[in-house]
């Protein structure tokens, strides 16, 4: 069911200083932020549109839009195509460790969800065969999923797995994280090779992630290996940068 828009309390903006040195957009953003932090606007709340809010406050649309953008940049609000502006729990900040996005969301008291887009057994082409260390033409499982956090799409995940994992079912992949399923089978990931980058979203990714056409996405490629050094998974993923970030600890040697 589509959630109704939340009309921001008029009292929230009663003391706007329209002639002082603090920009109006900053004052509006601060008041909305406080309403979110105090629970007056819980996660999932949909804000009234910028035009309606601007007319109600006697402010220009660019001023309101900039205020909203401040909170989008902070990861407190998210713009969703066809839905509007929603309150979110905050950006997913993920340490670069041997964990899955599903595990990180669950351990962070977020509610992970999965939409399975593709589940097929194919023959390994030259590139995937080299990455997984299998013969060209070997059967592999190719899966593609959208991972959500609190019903907001965060990432498009694409994975390739070797022949002994092709029996992973669609039902299990829709209900559980990939690494969770691997651990249940006794397959433990011990080391991984990973590359992080950024690019523009494809037309399909724009739709799946509910972002602006051609908007930026973070990318991550990972090849994971088990105790014996055998490659057990290759992943090529993209993430919404307004809802997701990588965190790295650097140590001076």
Alpha helix stretches (DSSP H) within the chain: 24-37, 50-57, 61-73, 101-107, 126-132, 170-175, 178-184, 203-209
Contact present, 149 and 80 (Cβ < 8 Å):
no
For 198-211, what is the mean pLDDT?
A: 93
Instruction: Please determine, for residue 243, whether its predicted confidence score (pLDDT) is greater than 80.
Output: no
Under DSSP, the state recorded for 64 is H
**Within 10 A of 95 (CB to CB), how many other CB atoms are there?**
10
Q: How does the average pLDDT of the chain come out, rounded?
A: 83
**Residue range 62-99, pLDDT digits in tens:** 999 999 988 887 777 887 777 788 887 555 544 445 55
Residue 186 backbone class (left: φ over 0; alpha: ψ -120 to 50; beta: rest)? left
Contact present, 132 and 124 (Cβ < 8 Å):
yes
Strands 152-161 and 231-239: antiparallel
pLDDT of res. 141: 97
Distance of CA 75 to the CA centre of its chain: 11
DSSP 23-42: -HHHHHHHHHHHHHHTTSS-
Could you tell me which residue, 39 or 220, shows the higher pLDDT? 220
User: Any idea what the Cα angle at residue 85 is, between residues 83 and 90, rounded to 5°?
Assistant: 120
Where are the strands (E) in 77-230, listed by range?
A: 77-80, 84-87, 92-95, 112-123, 139-149, 152-161, 191-200, 216-225
Whole-number percent of the chain with pLDDT over 90 = 37
**Residue range 176-188, pLDDT digits in tens:** 889 889 989 988 8
For 158-162, what is the mean pLDDT?
A: 97
Alpha helix stretches (DSSP H) within 88-163: 101-107, 126-132
Contact present, 182 and 208 (Cβ < 8 Å):
no
**Residue range 103-140, pLDDT digits in tens:** 566 555 567 889 999 999 999 999 999 999 999 999 99
CA-to-CA distance for 91 and 244, rounded, in angstroms?
A: 5
Could you tell me which residue, 188 or 236, shows the higher pLDDT? 236
Could you tell me which residue, 3 or 218, shows the higher pLDDT? 218
Instruction: Please determine, for residue 57, whether its predicted confidence score (pLDDT) is greater than 80.
Output: yes
Topology of the domain covering 92-247: Chorismate lyase (3.40.1410)
**Band of pLDDT at residue 229, cut at 50, 70 and 90:** confident
Where exactly are the structural domains of the chain? Answer: 5-87, 92-247
What is the biggest distance separating any 2 CA atoms in the chain, rounded to whole angstroms? 71
**Residue range 16-44, pLDDT digits in tens:** 888 888 888 888 888 888 888 777 887 77
Distances (CA, A) of 140 to 95, 123, 178, 215, 242: 29, 6, 15, 32, 33
The yes/no answer on whether domain 5-87 falls in CATH 1.10.10.10 is yes
């Amino acid at each position: 069911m589509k959630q109704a828009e939340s009309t921001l309390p008029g009292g929230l903006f009663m003391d706007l200083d329209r002639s002082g040195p603090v920009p109006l957009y900053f004052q509006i953003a601060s008041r909305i932020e406080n309403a979110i932090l105090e629970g007056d606007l819980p996660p999932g709340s949909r804000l009234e549109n910028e035009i309606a809010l601007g007319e109600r406050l006697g402010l220009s649309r660019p001023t309101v839009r900039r205020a909203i953008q401040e909170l989008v940049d902070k990861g407190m609000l998210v713009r969703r195509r066809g839905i509007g502006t929603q309150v979110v729990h905050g950006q997913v900040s993920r340490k670069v460790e041997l964990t899955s996005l599903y595990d990180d969301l669950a351990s962070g008291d977020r509610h992970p969800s999965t939409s399975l887009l593709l589940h097929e057994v194919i023959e390994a082409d030259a590139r995937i065969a080299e990455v997984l260390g299998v013969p060209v033409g070997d059967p592999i499982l190719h899966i593609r999923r959208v991972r959500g956090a609190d019903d907001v799409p965060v990432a498009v995940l694409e994975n390739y797995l070797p022949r002994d994992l092709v029996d992973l079912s669609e039902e299990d992949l829709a209900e559980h994280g990939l690494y969770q399923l691997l651990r249940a089978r006794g397959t433990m990931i011990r080391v991984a090779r990973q590359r992080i980058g950024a690019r523009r979203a494809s037309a399909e990714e724009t739709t799946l992630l509910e972002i602006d056409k051609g908007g930026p996405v973070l990318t991550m490629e990972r090849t994971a290996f088990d105790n014996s050094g055998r490659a057990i998974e290759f992943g090529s993923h993209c993430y919404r940068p307004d809802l997701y970030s990588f965190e790295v600890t650097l140590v001076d040697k």
